[in-house]
Amino acid sequence: MIDFKKLEKVAFERGFSRVGVSFPEVESFFVEKLKYWIEKGYHKGLEWYRRGLGSRINPLSVLPWAKAVVVFVDNYFYSATNTFCSGSEKIYPMVSKYAIGVDYHGFIRKRIKQALKLIQKEVPELQWKVCVDTCPFLEKVYAVQAGLGWYGKNSLVIFPGLGSFCFIGIAFLNQEVSGYKRPQVLDGCKDCDKCIRACPGGAIAEPYFLDVDRCVSFLTVEKKGAFSVREKELVARAGYIFGCDICQDACPWNKRHLKETHNKGYYENVEIVCKDLKEWSELSNDEFSTLFQKSVLKRAGLEGLKRNIEALKG
């Protein structure tokens, strides 16, 4: 048995903004929502999501020893990313805030493991499986089941007092966690539809359901190959060469409750993405590899980024 207060303490000492605990089962409500999303074809372009559906909705089929899921929330918001390339006549394409700094996958995973290793000194039998957007499990669902936030209409989790500019890491544990009181968080979106109206591609096909095929973030990061005419026009309209923050920037909760991140890794290299279209276009493979070896921008690859840049050129 693990004491939540001790777990929370070591997590906060490593810069996490929120910590919560969920049971490993996925509630039937979310299972049905996920199946509906796939049935509607909103997952088009993410066929691997359908293939991994079994373990997503039933993680105990893969991790039968799991007794609890600890959710770690990492705020990455840095206000200066909105203006860091301003003050010039050059045209600077936008990069999503989450991609400004260090690659979050390893940065978060390392700190979660550090926290768990400290707990393991008191609970030697502790074992874990850490996931940061790389496992076939539903991190956002676990954040909601832990009572840390609610599932927003743009399909992102909105955390009270923080907003949605947050990463989520989870750890399946073979031990139960005592002393955690699940907060009661209600859906704060209510009748608001600002994110829906702001999305340039109409990707929020229904409240709480994202059609990835019309999402600029998906197109500029995950899509392989050339853009169609429609996709090219959409990327040009949005103005992003990697990711997209438009629906988050439109969210009233983000306007009122944003907090600056305390983790310098999420913004200390902000200058490396401050390039105009010409500078991006002229990057060589070696330059790209050197500049972005620790960045999530490498996910799109130089070829993908140049495709996105060409779309912005019109």
Of 62, 175, 170, 70, nearest to 125 by C-alpha is: 175
Is 133 among the catalytic positions? yes
| Residue 2 three-state SS | strand
Per the DSSP assignment, residues forming a β-bridge with 18 are: 73
| DSSP label of 148 | S
CA–CA separation, 214 vs 202, rounded Å? Answer: 7
Taking each continuous run of H as one helix and of E as one strand, the counts in the chain are 14, 12
Catalytic residue among 133, 187, 191, 211: 133
Of 109, 102, 180, nearest to 145 by C-alpha is: 180
Q: Are 60 and 25 in contact (CB under 8 A)?
A: yes
Q: What's the sign of the alpha-carbon dihedral 131, 51, 103, 199?
A: negative
Residue type, 181: K
Cβ neighbourhood burial of 105 (10 Å; 0-12, 13-18, 19+): middle
Per the DSSP assignment, residues forming a β-bridge with 129 are: 172
- Please enumerate in sequence order all residues whose Cβ is within 8 A of that of 61, keeping only pairs 6 or more positions apart, or say none: 54, 55
Helix, strand, coil percentages in the chain from 3-state DSSP, rounded to 5: 45, 15, 40
- Which residues are part of the catalytic machinery? 133
